[in-house]
Amino acid sequence: MFWEHIHHADAFRRVGRRESLPAGREIDTLANVALVERGICALATMTPEGNERIYLYFKSGNLVGFLRHVLHRDNYPRAHFYRTRNRVVAKTRVELTLIDKDIFLDLVRRDAGCQRDFTISLAQNLANLMEHSALVSCESAPTRICAMRLEFCEPEGERSVLPACFTQFVISAFVALHKITVAKVLGSLTEAGYIRRTGRRLEVLEPARLTQVVERELCIRY
């Protein structure tokens, strides 16, 4: 995945306001664009049955919630994007800079540096969606799971820990695997000593081994 931080964050901070949200809270992107300062949030759709489907995650340094302000609804009345309940949700506690949508768009038009950051954000989101699609379509279960673990583990002292929001159910839904398959792969990784459970979270003990799995240099039987 691509996680390039924007280079002119201070310009957005000067015209925005700081806000902290707990995990599970929806971010107000109807009137704002958000700069993620800390934490993890996700682009999700709520199905008519009340189930959440996650399409894309965002980490610190990402701009989120701008698409609806660029693609005006009047021009795309039949687009699937507008017929579903799309939202950006905090998956961990997040620190944000919220920027009014009109101020954001004006800044992007006037400031070449902010325009470049906006372009990078668009390209990065597209690249990450394509990367995830390829991962789910082409790779084995261990590769999908190890890639997700490496992507979202966060340093905690000398440890590398996957946030508690990434439960087996969440992992299985995001990488398109049955939860039993996810449990079997995690069991094999644990038995091999590559990961271990620490409370509600999974700690990566051997990131180099997980990288080998992702790069198809190491086979995991499950």
User: What confidence tens digit (pLDDT) does each residue in 92-130 have?
Assistant: 999 999 999 999 999 999 999 999 999 999 999 999 999
The neighbouring-strand residues paired with 98 are 17, 34
Task: Please state, as a whole number, how many other Cβ atoms lie within 10 Å of the Cβ of residue 137.
Answer: 8
Residue partners of 81: CB distance under 8 A and separation at least 6: 67, 68, 71
Low-confidence ranges of the chain (pLDDT < 50): none
Give the pLDDT of residue 219.
93
- Cα(118)–Cα(135) distance, integer angstroms: 26
Q: What is the DSSP string of 73-113?
A: GGG-TT-HHHHSEEEEEESS-EEEEEEEHHHHHHHHHH-HH
- Cα(1)–Cα(134) distance, integer angstroms: 11
User: In 3-state terms, what secondary structure has residue 56?
Assistant: strand
User: Per the confidence metrics, is the pTM higher than 0.85?
Assistant: yes
Q: Which pair of tokens denotes residue 14?
A: 């000067």
Give the pLDDT of residue 77.
52
- Report how many helices (DSSP H) and strands (DSSP E) the chain contains, helices first: 9, 12
